Amino acid sequence: MTSLKNDIFIKTLLKQPVDRTPVWMMRQAGRYLPEYRAVRAKAGSFMNLCTNPELACEVTLQPLERFDFDAAILFSDILTIPDAMGLGLYFSEGEGPKFKHPIRCKADVDKLAVPDPMLELRYVVDAVSLIKKNLQGRVPLIGFSGSPWTLATYMVEGGSSKSFQKVKSMMYEQPQLMHQMLDKLAQAVAAYLNAQIEAGAEAVMVFDTWGGMLSSEDYIEFSLKYARKVRQLLKTQVDGRQIPTLLFTKGGGLWLEAMADSGYEALGLDWQTDIGQARTRVGDKVALQGNMDPIALYAEPEVIREKVRTILEKYGQGSGHVFNLGHGILPDVNPDHVKAMVDAVHEISPQFHR
């Protein structure tokens, strides 16, 4: 693997000493950047952009030219795995992702096959390799996937949902069928992330966007159980280096202790969780990532700076904190406000690492 010129992100995830807090941002390659919108227009559609390794590489690198981020994250979509399983992913303008062939019954689940990342998802693996080559060790590259539960919600609902009625009904009425599907998805997610690691990803993140929609007992049984299985299947020792893993459950603040025991090196926090309390609850088991409210980026730079300071103060002294938003950046944020956040982290955080 290429030696990293800036490895502060990796060291922090492994809770090793650093001289400042690293910072990156969920959805940092996205619509808030005019240069991204130009490439997206050239691609013709979101899926064309995702499936073209050269264009995916270009937009992955764009934010690093503007901002002093400490990591790059692969530009892709969490629904690549269900698409590779034959569900027919498409995007409706203003409505988000949809599937032509949603999962409705046992026969649908029985037909699901674990995709071969080097075949059905080769475009993602090729994008990782190309990004890694172009980064030249400048910063680490984060690979990612949706969690088994989150992927299942889209697959059963047929797209986005507010009530999650279809997927929860299947979970309650046919729990064994849901377990069968989640087991296949855990295998698929692990194979997909392992392929990204082999292609050069230096860290991998599992996005459990909809785990927070579950009750406590159902979260443990249907979401965390399979996130843990993914972690067990990951091959995280590469060329003598450890590949850190992150788990982010939006709305998961209730279950931090259980998440900290799931094997991941770091947990992502949404903005509704107090990061100081979270640190107390998880102790030294895991690093923490987060957790500024994305809406705070609409405020003036001096307000953003104070929000950054508050989060750094709440986390307190020592390593183990990656600064990030508590969810992805929104499309109409002023890029200058992102710079204000990144600059504030760089300027304020050294005092917490003395």
154 is catalytic: yes
20 is catalytic: no
* Residue 187 · residue 202 · CB < 8 Å: no
Residue 122, annotated as binding a ligand: no
31 is catalytic: yes
- Candidates 7, 20, 32, 40; catalytic one: 40
Beta 96-99 vs 141-146: how paired, if at all?
unpaired
Strand, coil or helix: 41: helix
Residue 209, annotated as binding a ligand: yes
Phi and psi dihedrals of 289, rounded to 5? -125, 130
Kindly state the DSSP code that residue 159 receives in the 8-state scheme: B
Residue 137, annotated as binding a ligand: no
Kindly state the DSSP code that residue 98 receives in the 8-state scheme: E
Residue 154, annotated as binding a ligand: yes
66 is catalytic: no
Residue 77, annotated as binding a ligand: yes
The sign of the torsion formed by the CA atoms of 134, 137, 139, 144 equals: positive
Axis crossing angle, helix 53-66 with helix 122-135, rounded to the nearest 10: 40
Residue 80, annotated as binding a ligand: no
- Candidates 7, 77, 208, 270; catalytic one: 77
Strands (E), the chain: 72-73, 89-92, 96-99, 141-146, 203-208, 237-238, 241-242, 245-249, 266-268, 287-292, 321-325
- Candidates 36, 154, 219, 264; catalytic one: 154
Residue 264, annotated as binding a ligand: no
40 is catalytic: yes
Residue 280, annotated as binding a ligand: no
Residue 31, annotated as binding a ligand: yes
Phi and psi dihedrals of 203, rounded to 5? -155, 155
Tell me the binding residues for substrate: 27-31, 77, 154, 209, 327
Catalytic residue IDs? 27, 31, 40, 77, 154
Tell me the binding residues: 27-31, 77, 154, 209, 327
